[in-house]
Chain A
Amino acid sequence: MKQILHIFAKDIRRFWPETLLSLVILAALVHVYPQQWAVTYSRWEVNTNLDLLRKFQMLSSLLCVLVPVGWFLLIGRLIHAEALVGDRQYWLTRPYDWKKLLIAKLLFLLVFLYLPLIAAQAMMLIYSGLNPLSSITGMLFNLLLITGIVVLPLIAIAAVTSSFFRMTITLLAIVIGAAAYAFSASGKDYSYHTTLQDFLLTISQDLSPAHILRSSSQLSFALLLICFCGAAIVLQYALRRAWISRSILLVIPALLACIILLMPNAARSNQAQFDRDYPRLSAGESAPIQFSADPGTHLFASRWPINKNMTNVFLSLHVTDGTAVMVDREPITVEAPDGFHWSGIVSFGPGNFSPGLTRSSLGFDLPTAVYTRLQANPVTLRITLPMTLLQATKATRVSIPAPGQEVVVPDYGVCGFEPERSAAAPLRCRSAFRQPRITSATAQAGQVPCSAPYNELRFWGGQAPWSGLSDSEPAEFSIGPVASWEVGIAAPLPIGSKNGSEWHLCTGDTVTFTQYEPVRRLQTTVTIANFQLPVPR
Chain B
Amino acid sequence: MKAPICTENLSKKFHRTVAVDDLDLAVPEGAIYALVGPNGAGKTTIIKLLMNILHPTAGHAEVLGADSHRLSGKDFCRIGYVSENQELPEGMTVGGMLDYFRAFYPQWDRELENQLVRQFDLPLKRKLSHLSRGMRMKAAFVSSLAYRPALIVLDEPFSGLDPLVRNELAEGLIERAPETTIFLSSHDLAEIENFASHVGFISQGRLLFSEEMSTLGDRFREVTVTLAAPSPLPADLPATWLLPQSADCVFRFVHSAYTEENSPRELAERFPTARDISFDPMPLRSIYLAIAKSTRDSAAHAKNAAAQEVHA
A191 beta carbon closer than 8 Å to chain B: no
Residues of chain A within 8 A of B271, CB atoms compared: none
Asked whether any CB of chain A lies closer than 8 Å to the CB of B100, the reply is: yes
| Interface residue? B74 (CB, 8 A) | yes
Q: Judge whether B53 and A95 touch: CB under 8 Å.
A: no
Q: Are A95 and B87 in contact (CB under 8 A)?
A: no
Kindly provide the distance from the CB of A100 to the nearest chain B CB, expressed in whole angstroms.
Answer: 8
Contact B74 A92 (CB under 8 A): no
B104 and A94 form a contact (CB under 8 A): yes
Min CB distance, A103 to chain B, in Å? Answer: 13
Q: Inside 8 A of B247's CB, which chain A residues have their CB?
A: none
Q: Is A48 an interface position by the 8 A CB rule?
A: no
Determine whether A189 belongs to the interface, using a CB cutoff of 8 Å to chain B: no
Instruction: Return the chain B residue nearest A2 by Cβ.
Output: B103
Is B184 an interface position by the 8 A CB rule?
Answer: no
A93 and B72 contact, Cβ closer than 8 Å, known pairs A14-B92, A88-B87: no
A97 at the interface (CB under 8 A from B): yes
Query: Measured between alpha carbons, how far is A57 from B53 in the docked complex, in Å?
Result: 50
Contact status A94-B76, CB under 8 Å: yes
Chain A binder among B77-85, B223-231, B232-240: B77-85
Please indicate the chain A residues that have their CB under 8 angstroms from the CB of B89 in the complex: 14, 81, 90
User: Measured between alpha carbons, how far is A92 from B85 in the docked complex, in Å?
Assistant: 13
CB–CB A93/B105 < 8 A: no
Given A14-B92, A97-B72, A97-B73: A92 and B51 within 8 A (CB)?
yes
CB-contact partner of B73 in A6, A87, A95, under 8 A? A95
> How many angstroms from the CA of A52 to the CA of B87 in the assembled complex?
51
Contacts A2-B103, A88-B86; is A93 near B74 (CB within 8 Å)? no
Cβ < 8 Å to A, chain B residues 97-144: 100-101, 103-105
Does residue B54 face the partner (Cβ distance < 8 Å to A)?
Answer: yes
Q: Which residues of chain A in 225-254 are interfacial with respect to chain B, using CB atoms and an 8 Å cutoff?
A: 241
Q: Does residue A137 face the partner (Cβ distance < 8 Å to B)?
A: no
Q: If A93-B81, A94-B101 touch, does A87 touch B76 (CB 8 Å cutoff)? A: no
Q: How far is the CB of A130 from chain B (nearest CB, A)?
A: 42
* CB interface residues, A 2-16, toward B, < 8 Å: 2-3, 6, 10, 13-14
> Within the complex, which residue of B53, B55, B88, B105 is in contact with A92, where a contact is CB–CB below 8 Å?
B53
B54 lies within 8 A of A14 (CB): no
A95 touches B54 (CB 8 A): no
Asked if residues A93 and B51 are in contact (CB atoms below 8 Å), the reply is: yes
Closest A residue to B102 by CB, please name it: A6
Cβ–Cβ contact B73 & A96, under 8 A: yes
Q: How long is the Cα–Cα vector from A328 to B59 in the complex, in angstroms?
A: 62
Report the interface size for chain A: residues with CB under 8 A from the other chain: 20
A100 to B52, CA, bound (A): 19
Within 8 Å by CB of B79, from A93, A97, A100, lies A93
Task: Please report the C-alpha to C-alpha distance between residue A6 and residue B100 in the assembled complex, in whole angstroms.
Answer: 8
Residues of A within 8 A of B83 (CB): 88
Selected from A6, A88, A92, A100, the residue in CB contact (under 8 A) with B103 is A6
Q: Is B160 an interface residue (CB 8 A)?
A: no
How far, in angstroms, from A241 to B52 measured CA to CA in the complex? 12
Q: A89-B87, A93-B76, A95-B77 are in contact. Are A3 and B53 (CB under 8 A)?
A: no
Interface contact A95-B104, CB-CB below 8 Å: yes
Chain B residues with CB under 8 Å of A93's CB are 51, 53, 76, 79, 81
Residue-wise interface mask of A (328-345) relative to B, using a CB-CB cutoff of 8 A (1 in contact, 0 not): 000000000000000000
Residues from chain A with a CB closer than 8 A to the CB of B76 are: 93-96
Q: Are B48 and A3 closer than 8 Å at their CB atoms? A: no
Whether a CB of chain A sits under 8 angstroms from the CB of B91 is: yes
Q: Which residue from A87, A96, A98, A241 sits with its C-beta under 8 Å from B53?
A: A87
A101 to B83, CA, bound (A): 23
Residues of A within 8 A of B73 (CB): 94-98, 100
Q: How far is the CB of A139 from chain B (nearest CB, A)?
A: 35
Sampled A-B contacts (26; CB under 8 Å): A2-B103, A6-B103, A10-B100, A13-B96, A14-B91, A87-B48, A87-B53, A87-B54, A88-B83, A88-B86, A88-B87, A90-B86, A90-B87, A92-B51, A92-B53, A93-B51, A93-B79, A93-B81, A94-B101, A95-B73, A95-B74, A95-B76, A95-B77, A96-B73, A97-B73, A241-B55
On A, residues with C-beta under 8 Å from B are 2-3, 6, 10, 13-14, 81, 87-90, 92-98, 100, 241
Q: Given A87-B54, A88-B85, A97-B74, 8 more contacts at CB 8 Å? A: A6-B100, A6-B103, A87-B48, A89-B87, A93-B76, A94-B104, A95-B105, A98-B73
